[in-house]
Amino acid sequence: MYKRIMGLDVGSKTVGVAVSDLMGWTAQGLETIRIDEAAGDLGYDRLLELVDQHQVKELVIGLPKNMNNSLGPRAEASMAYGEGISKLRPELTIHYQDERLTTSQAERMLVTEGNVSRKKRKQVIDKLAAVIILQNYLDRIN
């Protein structure tokens, strides 16, 4: 059975979005959605447009745990984001994927392997982090 899975890297100002191929083997970056967590603008409209456009059935949301495996404020914000999506689309299955160090891993990839300028890195870092979160999840379930 073929299905697309979407990966999200949720921050306070942006949500990086990635999507799997139909086989569920690889993750590709889609876009970065601008949000304003403090103002309650969470970008759900755009996210759900992407869910519909790519016929996504499952979401994988990065869970930024602390190094001691506890959940801090950012992890709680990610779970609240997932709960908000669940209220809007209860048919979507939501998973949480430990995302410790994915942003630093993405940064390292862009600097060492991509030689990407600081300004450009800022524009793509969240999308790449979403790719890493989703790819880690796909590798784990396959």
CATH number of 126's domain: 3.30.420.140
Number of domains in the chain: 1
Indicate whether this model's pTM tops 0.75.
Answer: yes
pLDDT in tens, 28-61: 999 999 999 999 999 999 999 999 999 999 999 9
Confidence category of residue 1, pLDDT binned at 50, 70, 90: low
Q: How far is 87 from 94, CA to CA, in rounded Å?
A: 12
- Per DSSP (E only), the strands in 11-124 are 14-20, 27-34, 56-63, 93-98
Whole-number pLDDT of residue 66: 83
The better pLDDT of the pair 101, 43 is held by 43
Domain extent at residue 129: 2-139
Confidence category of residue 63, pLDDT binned at 50, 70, 90: very high
Nearest C-alpha neighbor of 104 from the set 126, 123, 83, 84:
126
